[in-house]
Structures are given as structure tokens and as C-alpha cells.
Amino acid sequence: METGLKGWEAEAWRRQQVGSGGRGSEESATAVVAEPSLDGQGKSEARASASRIRMVSIPEYYEGKNVLLTGATGFLGKVLLEKLLRSCPKVNSVYVLVRQKAGQTPQERVEEVISGKLFDRLRDENPDFREKIIAINSELTQPTLALSEEDKEVIIDSTNIIFHCAATVRFNENLRDAVQLNVIATRQLILLAQQMKNLEVFMHVSTAYAYCNRKHIDEVVYPPPVDPKKLIDSLEWMDDGLVNDITPKLIGDRPNTYIYTKALAEYVVQQEGAKLNVAIVRPSIVGASWKEPFPGWIDNFNGPSGLFIAAGKGILRTMRASNNALADLVPVDIVVNTSLAAAWYSGVNRPRNIMVYNCTTGSTNPFHWGEVVSTVIRIWKEEQKERSYRER
């Protein structure tokens, strides 16, 4: 299901500007790399050298790179794939890890994704983009990601950048499956990354709500609620009934298994990926696109979109909420731009510590649920008027 609604979400994004302050998109961003200075006899050369600055734009950084992407058939992964190929047309290739599903091969699933409306703009600007996408059969929940030896060798030899977007986002997922998909699969990918000969950046997409039990969330990885290794070992001998019984006590003051396991995954990335150049992006509630590839694109009813459509159709008539509560909604293209730019920054600057980015609106540029409600009502009324005129 794909929609191109230019309704409340697109308008809200334009009004909010998502706190961007007019800084522009990631294509215009550059990295400044100064030449090294010299001592003693070379001081004069050092001054001249320091004045020479090499500017590395984001498209230039990705030029010739081989990118590994997980979650490419998901909402965020689709947009990242499109944006990467469109804004960085000289990227060498994108390895997409996809499993067989519903009788479809990985290649067929990828073809279904790139045949959608989301890729219309890319098809117009770069008709040959398909040649850069390499679908690889993989199951993230299986040992060694169920990769063939041939595919594994290619990935280890060629990959420069990893974007790990795959995850289960179901709030009611049972703990065993959530750990398998969000924690163990992440660890499996990191173990593979450690073998890669030319890896520059490991980019992990988390969630801003991983530590929602804290009043203030800094851009750091906090200690986990439990040792992930001990939990994984325990789940191996527990039956499903016992797992379900202990889940409420385990997750504690976190509302669901999704948030709980994403917090564990961050710690796994930090610990297991200590020798890797790692960056983490934490988006809040990811909604329809703001600008790219066009306003209002979304392909699911997850999150707030389902509520807005249900309300507009008259299915949902009441909901308990606070008008003053913060609606921390972030457009999917902002999250994707942040991820691409974060990987670029880590790849160029090689920071000593893990980089964490809270991709949220927060109190800097707040948008409240009361405003959401009034905007939704107004947009739906306008849509009804336009529809009635068209039907006349």
C-alpha cells in the first residue's frame, strides 16, 4: 500500500521545518580535512599547508563505495535506498540483504520495492540505477545470517559502509522474537562486520525511545537494563510460557519489548563493535516524507498515520490523549538524511568515540498533539471540499 497524500503531515513538516534552521540538505554538507602541520624548519610550509583545505561533500564521500543495507524492504530502508542512489549517483553498489518470503526470491522482493512510486523520481533521473543494487539472500535471525560462502566472501572483501535498518517494530512482539530480531541479528551483523577488510562505518538505526524511562536522554549509550548475553542464554532454555510470564518484570518501566530490545541492541553495538567506527541514529516517531522524493509519501498504516486515516474515515471517534503532550514526529526523509550525513561524518573524521544522534524535534521545535488534531481536522475538511468539487 502506497500513498502520496499531501495532507496534514506534509503541511506540518513545512511549518515545523523540523528544527533545521535552514541548514539545507546533506548534499551541500562538506567535511573539512586540514593538512597536518609541521614543526621547526617547516613552519612556513605548515602555514601554507593549513590554508589548503580539502572539501569532501557527501556525494563525493560515497563515490566508488560499496554499501551494505539491511531492512531495505521496510519503510525507512526503502527511502534510504532511494535517497542514496539518487543523491550519490556515483556510489559503486548497494548490497541488500533480503530473505525469501511468501514464495518470492530476494531479487523479486527488491524488484517489487524499486518498481513502486517512491522510485519514480530516481527512474527519471537515473534510469540505470537498478544495476547498482545487488540482492543477497540472507536471514538475519540465522547463524552467520544464512549467507552462502560466495556471498559472504564478496561482502567481506567489498563492503565499505553498513546501514543496519532491519528490526521488528511491533510493540506487542513476544520477547523471544524481539530479542532474536533486534539483538541477536544485530550481533550477527557486527561479527560479520569485524571480518570486513575495507569497512569504514557501521551505521545502526535505533530509536529515541530506547531510554524513554529517563527524563533526559543525552547522545550517549546508557548501561542496559540487563546483560544481553545472559538474557540470550536464558531464553535458550526457557519455554514460551515462562518467557511470557517474566516479560513484564524484565522490561520494567519500559512500555514494550520493542523499546526494551532496542536498548539492548545499542549496548551490543557499543560493546561488540568497540573496534569498529560506529554511529547510531535515534529517530523518534517516523512519519511520512517532508520533501523527498515527494511530500507525503508513506507505505503503511503504522504509527500515527493509521490513527489519522482511521479518524478521517470516522472509524476512530475518540482517543485518550493530552493536547499539551509533545508529538515528536519526524519525517522519514529527515531521518534518512541524518543517517547518510552521520555515516559520512564518521567516515571522514574517524571520531574516537561512538557517535550518537537523537533525530527528534523535542523541545527545540515542539509540535503538540492538540495542534496535530486541529491540523488533521482542517486537512480532512479541505479534502472533502475538493473531492465534492471534483465529483460534480
Q: At which residue does the C-alpha cell 563505495 appear?
A: 65
Lowest average pLDDT, out of 14-18, 101-105, 353-357, goes to 14-18
Contacts of 210 (CB under 8 A, 6+ apart): 259, 262, 263, 266, 282
Give me the mean pLDDT over the 185-211 stretch. Answer: 96
- Residue 269 has a pLDDT of 97
Bridge partners of residue 56, in order along the sequence: 31
Q: Which of 2-6, 22-26, 164-168, 324-328 has the highest mean pLDDT?
A: 164-168
Residue 206: band (very low, low, confident or very high) from pLDDT cuts 50, 70, 90 = very high
In percent, the amount of the chain with pLDDT more than 90 equals: 66
Give me the mean pLDDT over the 371-377 stretch. Answer: 85
Give the residue among 60, 62, 101, 99 at the shortest CA–CA distance from 81: 62
Give me the mean pLDDT over the 243-265 stretch. Answer: 94
Give the residue among 183, 169, 203, 166 at the shortest CA–CA distance from 71: 166
Output the CA–CA distances (angstroms, integers) from residue 170 to 144, 182, 316, 369, in the order listed: 24, 11, 21, 22
Burial class (CB in 10 A: 0-12, 13-18, 19+), 77: buried
- Residue 310 has a pLDDT of 84
Say if residue 86's pLDDT is above 90. yes
- Residue 42 has a pLDDT of 46
Residue 341: band (very low, low, confident or very high) from pLDDT cuts 50, 70, 90 = very high
Phi, psi of 24 (to 5 degrees): 85, 175
Q: Are 265 and 182 in contact (CB under 8 A)?
A: yes
- Residue 387 has a pLDDT of 65
Residue 358: which H helix or E strand, with range?
strand 355-359
Phi, psi of 342 (to 5 degrees): -65, -40
Say if residue 26's pLDDT is above 50. no
Say if residue 368's pLDDT is above 50. yes
Give me the mean pLDDT over the 263-279 stretch. Answer: 96
Can you give the length of the chain in residues?
A: 392
- Residue 85 has a pLDDT of 97
Return d(Cα 219, Cα 278) in angstroms, integer: 13
C-alpha cell at 56: 569532501
Q: Are 376 and 300 in contact (CB under 8 A)?
A: no
Burial class (CB in 10 A: 0-12, 13-18, 19+), 34: exposed
- Residue 51 has a pLDDT of 40
Residue 391: band (very low, low, confident or very high) from pLDDT cuts 50, 70, 90 = low
- Residue 138 has a pLDDT of 96
- Please write the tens of the pLDDT for every residue from 154-168: 999 999 999 999 999
* Mean pLDDT of all residues belonging to the chain: 85
- Residue 18 has a pLDDT of 40
Say if residue 279's pLDDT is above 90. yes
- Please write the tens of the pLDDT for every residue from 164-192: 999 998 888 999 999 999 999 999 999 99
Residue 388: band (very low, low, confident or very high) from pLDDT cuts 50, 70, 90 = low
Cis omega (within 30 of 0) on the bond before 224? Answer: no
- Residue 128 has a pLDDT of 94
In percent, the amount of the chain with pLDDT more than 70 equals: 84
C-alpha cell at 3: 500513498
User: Would you tell me the crossing angle of helices 332-349 and 75-87 to the nearest 10 degrees?
Assistant: 60
Residue 184 DSSP code: I
Residue 6: band (very low, low, confident or very high) from pLDDT cuts 50, 70, 90 = very low
Alpha-carbon torsion, ordered 173, 177, 305, 109, to 10 deg: -150
Return d(Cα 355, Cα 271) in angstroms, integer: 14
What DSSP line would sit under 215-268, residue for residue?
SS--SSPPPPSS-HHHHHHHHHH--HHHHHHHHHHHHTTSSSHHHHHHHHHHHH
Q: Are 206 and 197 in contact (CB under 8 A)?
A: no
Give the residue among 104, 253, 237, 95 at the shortest CA–CA distance from 159: 95
Give me the mean pLDDT over the 241-253 stretch. Answer: 93
Say if residue 73's pLDDT is above 80. yes
pLDDT: which is higher, 44 or 314: 314
What DSSP line would sit under 43-106, residue for residue?
HHHHHHHHH-EEEEEHHHHHTT-EEEEE-TTSHHHHHHHHHHHHH-TT--EEEEEE--BTTB-H
Say if residue 23's pLDDT is above 50. no
- Please write the tens of the pLDDT for every residue from 108-128: 999 999 999 999 999 999 999
Give me the mean pLDDT over the 285-289 stretch. Answer: 92
Q: Are 122 and 84 in contact (CB under 8 A)?
A: no
Say if residue 12's pLDDT is above 70. no
Residue type, 126: N
- Residue 236 has a pLDDT of 92
**Domains by residue range for the chain, with CATH:** 55-291+333-367 (3.40.50.720)
- Residue 315 has a pLDDT of 86
Say if residue 1's pLDDT is above 60. no
- Residue 36 has a pLDDT of 37
